[in-house]
A and B are shown apart, each in its own frame.
Chain A
Amino acid sequence: TQLLEQSPQFLSIQEGENLTVYCNSSSVFSSLQWYRQEPGEGPVLLVTVVTGGEVKKLKRLTFQFGDARKDSSLHITAAQPGDTGLYLCAGGGGSNYKLTFGKGTLLTVNP
């Protein structure tokens, strides 16, 4: 069974601060997805990384896939209140295209 450990589980910071969310596993994934979810809505895909060592940037968000494709990180620069939400990492490569989800990071950015 593949497991994806996501940390921290909760994060409350002030506007303008930087933060990093981590997802780690002992298993190799064919891809790693990051989603952001707001209360009462479905998760929205932020990025998919598929190559070991890959780095993708989305405005103030930087995503990295580990060289061995076992871990990933999400770094947010100068966080804003609009970044508040539940961030989920998910590893691909499971049977029948199932994803392995981390437990999520609930981020609150205070103005």
Chain B
Amino acid sequence: GAVVSQHPSWVICKSGTSVKIECRSLDFQATTMFWYRQFPKQSLMLMATSNEGSKATYEQGVEKDKFLINHASLTLSTLTVTSAHPEDSSFYICSASPAAGKTADTQYFGPGTRLTVL
């Protein structure tokens, strides 16, 4: 149980284009989903918290107009990198938290999306 999928697993795009990454919780409902960015051999850096049906909460320093997040349902959140530039190249990982209870702290992670902007 507690499987989170992410699509695509990797993407290469040209500078200036937009890229959409999907995150789905396959066997549980997730009122909260999280988007992280990770650089090689480093820990996760939280970008934003996404709540179903409401606007995402962005961490300090993350441009909300550049990283658009939509949490349309209890099982789907999307991250769109708009007007991507080479410096946006990174490993993007989403996670999902079960609806409530003691398990709410636990996050289940997707397999990640490797974005390369040329």
A residues apposed to B, CB below 8 Å? 30-31, 33, 35, 40-45, 48, 50, 86, 88, 90, 92-93, 96-99, 101-104, 106
Contacts and interface: CB of A to CB of B under 8 A. Distances in A.
A13 B95 CA distance: 31
Nearest to A44: B109
Chain B interface size, as a band, is 20 to 34
B105 A92 contact: yes
Given A31-B106, A33-B107, A106-B41, A98 B46 contact: yes
Interface string B42-68: 111010010100000100000000000
A42 B93 contact: yes
Contacts of A93: 105
Contacts of A42: 4, 6, 93, 95, 109-112
A90 B43 CA distance: 10
A41 B91 CA distance: 9
B102 A31 contact: yes
A96 B57 contact: yes
